Amino acid sequence: MILLIPGPVTTRPEVRAALNCDLAPWDNDFRPFYSAIRQRVLRIAGGRDGEHAALPLQGCGHFITEAAIRTFVPPGKKLLIPSTGAYAERMARLAREAGRVPVPLPVSPVARAEPAAVAAALEADPEIGHLGMVYSETGTGVVHDVPAIAAAVGRRVIVDAVSAFGACPLDISAHPEIDAVVFTSNKCMEGVPGIAFAVCPIERLMACAGNAASWSLDLADIYRHALRHGWGSFRFTPPAQVLNAFKTALDLFDAEGGQPGRLARYTANMRVLYDGVRALGLRPCLSQEMQGPIIVNIQAPDDPRWDLQAFVDALKRHGFLISNFYDTEMPSFRVGCIGAITPEIMRRFVAVVGEVLGELGFNRRQAA
């Protein structure tokens, strides 16, 4: 089965094979292995030794996003979260339930956030200490220009790069305003799910100790633990096999030419999909200019017989799995361009979409 979802993504067989072992995470052989992974992650984020730290946390993207908010935004304090889509809403909920005060800023679901609008919202409220932004908004498919916005706003910034990291460029050394860039093993890094990471400036981790009001979700505590017990040690039991698979995923990432190589392949996948579904008479939700390389939402045929689950089930019979829900206002279906997917696989998928529309009795040309 080929997963065309925005994570967990289709992985290479070498990555899955690396899960097939027993590992003791406290063993002396595991420690240098694990600290080397942290070092490689730090490098990909543009972090510098002694200035930045790579902080792994067991679990998923929500956990690391909440940990970043808890660590850097003091309880009761405000953060501006431009409402770019479903994942910005999730960030806002994480902040609210952690006792922080998310301040929304309306953003069109079919356009990039305007740097001037973000700056104006922050200027209007000097009590807002942080900007929280989703880099690649998985709900809409828009990649926002977070590096440019972050550099312009003059506040501390938390970047949800969960569906961007590894494909979209971000150099934390060039952004002293960034407190945390957060991401997981299982999206553009093409590992399996189970471990999340934050890359943060050490100076800020020191300054923000005590904010989190949580032991599990405190990035400053993860940093302190590394200082005390070494960069090869975990506070709590880690998903050791997932880390083993992640090491293989990092090797494959390097072999592909790192972030630029990955972005090029995902962009090629997106183009094949975007142009292919249009040729079938379907309409993507975003204009070409706004369409990011990570995920494409495609408008459902305007037909009362349309049933997303029936469409998903039919695609599955042909070996492709897509999401059975959508995050857009209009009914749509969403297709991920990330993972161990090539343009050739995407061409096959487009052909299958055409076949399935036929099987389900949709006249493709009238579909749009």
Query: Under the rule (CB under 6 A), what is the footprint of ligand PLP?
Result: 6-7, 60-62, 87, 134, 138, 160, 162-163, 184
Output the smallest distance, CB 245 to ligand PLP, in A. 16
Output the smallest distance, CB 363 to ligand PLP, in A. 34
H or E segment at 273?
helix 258-279
339-356 core/surface letters (b: 16 or more CB in 10 A; e: else): bbbebebbebbbebbbeb
Cα–Cα distance between 25 and 34 in angstroms, integer?
A: 9
Cα–Cα distance between 136 and 346 in angstroms, integer?
A: 21
Output the smallest distance, CB 117 to ligand PLP, in A. 20
Output the smallest distance, CB 65 to ligand PLP, in A. 6
Residues in the chain: 368
Percent composition of the chain: helix, strand, coil (DSSP 3-state, to 5) = 40, 20, 40
Cis peptide bond upstream of 8, omega within 30:
yes
Nearer to ligand PLP, 30 or 72 (CB): 72
Do 177 and 37 touch, CB atoms closer than 8 A? Answer: no
Output the smallest distance, CB 109 to ligand PLP, in A. 14
Strand partners, 334: 297
Cα–Cα distance between 185 and 26 in angstroms, integer?
A: 21
Nearer to ligand PLP, 269 or 357 (CB): 269
Cα–Cα distance between 20 and 328 in angstroms, integer?
A: 38
Nearer to ligand PLP, 143 or 367 (CB): 143
Output the smallest distance, CB 182 to ligand PLP, in A. 8
Nearer to ligand PLP, 54 or 295 (CB): 295
Tokens coding 121: 């919202």
Token pair 């990035």 in the structure block, residue: 219
Cα–Cα distance between 141 and 163 in angstroms, integer?
A: 10
Nearer to ligand PLP, 60 or 128 (CB): 60
Tokens coding 131: 């900007």
Output the smallest distance, CB 193 to ligand PLP, in A. 7
Output the smallest distance, CB 6 to ligand PLP, in A. 6
Nearer to ligand PLP, 135 or 362 (CB): 135
Nearer to ligand PLP, 143 or 212 (CB): 143
Output the smallest distance, CB 8 to ligand PLP, in A. 8
H or E segment at 248?
helix 240-255
Q: Which residue is nearest to ligand PLP (CB)?
A: 61
Nearer to ligand PLP, 89 or 171 (CB): 89
Strand partners, 52: 201
Do 171 and 234 touch, CB atoms closer than 8 A? Answer: no
Nearer to ligand PLP, 6 or 109 (CB): 6
